[in-house]
């Protein structure tokens, strides 16, 4: 969990640049989740949440990939510009 905190600090300080695809996934997921328009309506209990959970899953996979790239750059001593 501490590595996630260090990763977020690196992103906020501009020490690590997140890929445009990952930013698009974050923004798109947030907009979709708060939007009243859904691919699967939330009227049906539990079934309507499936599309939201799927998007959160994709976003978390992309976030984990970004963190892995960042951690690899720390191990390699690489500098990201």
pLDDT at 80: 54
pLDDT at 78: 59
Instruction: Establish if 81 belongs to a structural domain.
Output: no
- Give 10-60 as a DSSP string: HHHHTSSPPPHHHHHHHHHHHHHHHSS--SS-TTSTTGGGHHHHHHHHHHH
Largest CA distance in the chain: 51
pLDDT in 10s for each residue of the chain, 81 residues? 688 999 999 999 999 999 898 889 889 888 888 887 777 777 777 777 888 888 889 899 999 999 999 999 888 765 655
pLDDT at 81: 54
Instruction: Establish if 14 belongs to a structural domain.
Output: yes
Q: Is 31 buried (19+), middle (13-18) or exposed (0-12) by CB count in 10 A?
A: exposed
- What the block records as the tokens of 32 is 């979709």
Domain count along the chain: 1
pLDDT at 37: 79
Which residues constitute the domain of residue 62? 2-76
pTM of the predicted protein model = 0.73
């Amino acid at each position: 969990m501490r590595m996630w905190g260090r990763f977020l600090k690196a992103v906020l300080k501009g020490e690590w640049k997140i890929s445009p695809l990952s930013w698009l996934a974050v923004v798109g997921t947030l907009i979709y989740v708060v939007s009243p328009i859904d691919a699967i309506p939330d009227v049906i209990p539990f079934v309507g949440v499936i599309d939201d959970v799927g998007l959160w899953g994709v976003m978390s996979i992309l976030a984990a990939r970004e963190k892995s790239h960042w951690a690899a750059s720390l191990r390699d001593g690489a500098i990201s510009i």
